[in-house]
Amino acid sequence: MKRWFSLALAAALLMGLSAPALAADAENDGTADTKINVAGQYEQGANGSQISVNITWEPMEFTYLDGAPVWDAEKHEYIGSAKPGWTEDTKTITVTNHSDTDIIANFRFDSDAGIVGAFDQNSLSLPSAVGTAADAAPSGSVQFGIVDGKISESGTLGDITVSIVRSLSTSNPNTLLTAMQNGDCVNMIGDISYTASSPAVPTIGAGKAAVVDLGGHTLNIIDGVSDPEAEIYGIQVDAGGACTLKNGVINADNGPDYGISLVPFQCNNSTLTLTDCTLKSFLAITEGSGYTMNIDHCSLSVSGSNYAFLIKNNCTLNIRDTTIESAHTGFFAYWGSENIKITLSGDIRLTGAASTIESNHVDGFLTCLPGTYNFDPSIYVNSDACTVTENGGIWTVTAK
């Protein structure tokens, strides 16, 4: 069918071009000029980069074992344990770039059933396919698995969304801010500094999903107000927007003599992801409500606020393999008490002069999953699913 269409299209083009292609002739006796009409045929080309991406994935089927282990008659071994939980299977999603531009693929899992899924990386950066053979196009993969939640019957767990955006490289602050507001992906090729003022810049709005790969460089966010009563934000992610920053340093600590107005992020009903980042702030790391914040393999320090995180209603924090330094009272303070979920996993280190993990009370908002901790996580662990042991001041949470 494809070949037939190509042939038919070629015939139609030949028919359309036949009339202008006919030659004309005229006699000239030298008393007047001969004029020849010149016609141009317009064929529209591509407008900017042309994105073509192939996405493949393994069957997204996962098993929740509820009760006694299951005997696998083919392998002659048991699957699972006597405790309910998900098997440790992961599935592969592969992205191949056939575009004439660098691209970034972003991955998100959404569930209405209370299921928590995790990717080994939330985005893939792939170079342009220009100069490569079709069968050797740039390609990359991520692994996805289910890490929390339970089911009582078989059915749909949720949806994975893969979004593809153009990628560009810059060390210019204006280019960076414009690209973020447009929801583009940016590779920083040098340190960048910009001044935040009121209102916040940049603002990432609904339907935009900006990704900034710092590339080992430093993003300096400078307080442009210096008024402690005039709270400003370095990056604002509005309702329906998303922002990912990875692989570098974010410096928003200009205090205490200057920079006491600046909070690095404001997020409202949006998503913020920090991966492989070092973040330095004078005030709290983020403000807002209704947001999801994913922090993975990071080092965070707050030198001025009483708490590193000030959390309002309807917020979710997923923190893995991260060190948090808080110089004053504690780490997590609740401004609201509805629909808050904080999950810690992997290697977690809470350091600094802070004396408490939470403000005043434990409301079941905080959960410690399998990993190692430099504090006793026992009151935050589901004892039906995990055990806690201590050795040399390091507590280890292990799934039963």
For the segment 158-215, what is each residue's pLDDT rounded down to a tens digit? Answer: 999 888 887 888 999 998 998 899 888 898 999 999 988 755 567 898 888 898 999 9
CB 212 within 8 A of CB 235: no
229 or 236: which leads in pLDDT: 236
Q: From its phi and psi, is residue 158 left (phi > 0), alpha (psi between -120 and 50) or beta?
A: left
In the chain, % of residues over pLDDT 90: 46
Per the CB < 8 A criterion, the answer to whether 306 and 330 are in contact is yes
Q: Write the pLDDT tens digit of every residue in 252-306.
A: 987 665 557 788 999 999 999 999 999 999 888 998 899 999 999 999 999 888 8
Is-contact 157 62, C-beta < 8 A? yes
Query: Bigger pLDDT: 371 or 89?
Result: 371
pLDDT of residue 270: 95
Q: Both tokens of residue 213?
A: 């790969």
pLDDT at 97 over 50: yes
pLDDT in the model for residue 306: 84
CB 87 within 8 A of CB 148: no
Of 354, 340, 258, nearest in space to 301 by CA:
354
E-only strand ranges, 197-252: 203-204, 209-213, 218-223, 232-237, 242-252
The span from the CA of 154 to the CA of 151, in Å, is 7
Structure letter (DSSP) for residue 378:
G
Q: Which residue has the tokens 């153009």?
A: 166
Lowest mean pLDDT among 78-82, 114-118, 233-237, 339-343: 78-82
Give the contacts of 176 (CB within 8 A, at least 6 positions apart): 170, 186, 188, 192, 194, 212
The pLDDT of 100-123, averaged and rounded, is 89
Q: Write down the pLDDT at residue 20.
A: 42
Q: Strands 192-196 and 218-223: what pairing?
A: parallel
CA gap 227, 198 in Å, rounded: 11
Query: What is the average pLDDT across 8-26?
Result: 40
Q: By three-state DSSP, how is residue 161 classified?
A: strand
Secondary structure element (H or E) that encloses residue 162, with its range: strand 159-170
Closest CA to 183 of 161, 209, 202: 209
Confidence tier at 123 by pLDDT (50, 70, 90): confident
Residue-averaged pLDDT of the chain: 83
Report the pLDDT value the prediction gives residue 16, as an integer from 0 to 100: 37
Mean pLDDT score, 348-353: 94
SS3 call for 20: helix
pLDDT tier at 23, thresholds 50, 70, 90: low
Residue-level pLDDT at 15? 34
Average of pLDDT values for 367-385?
94
Select the more confidently predicted residue: 14 or 341: 341
Residue-wise pLDDT for 67-84, tens only, equals 777 788 988 988 766 667
Distance (Å) of CA 377 to CA 22, 100, 337, 345, 398: 86, 50, 21, 11, 12
pLDDT on residue 112: 87
Convert 356-378 to b/e letters by CB count within 10 Å (16 or more is b).
Answer: ebbbeeeeebbbbbebbbeeebe
Residue 361 has a pLDDT of 59
Q: What are the tens digits of pLDDT across the range 316-336? A: 999 999 999 998 888 998 887
Separation CA 264–CA 183 (nearest Å): 18
Closest CA to 386 of 68, 85, 79, 69: 85
For the ranges 82-91, 340-349, 368-377, the lowest mean pLDDT is seen at 82-91
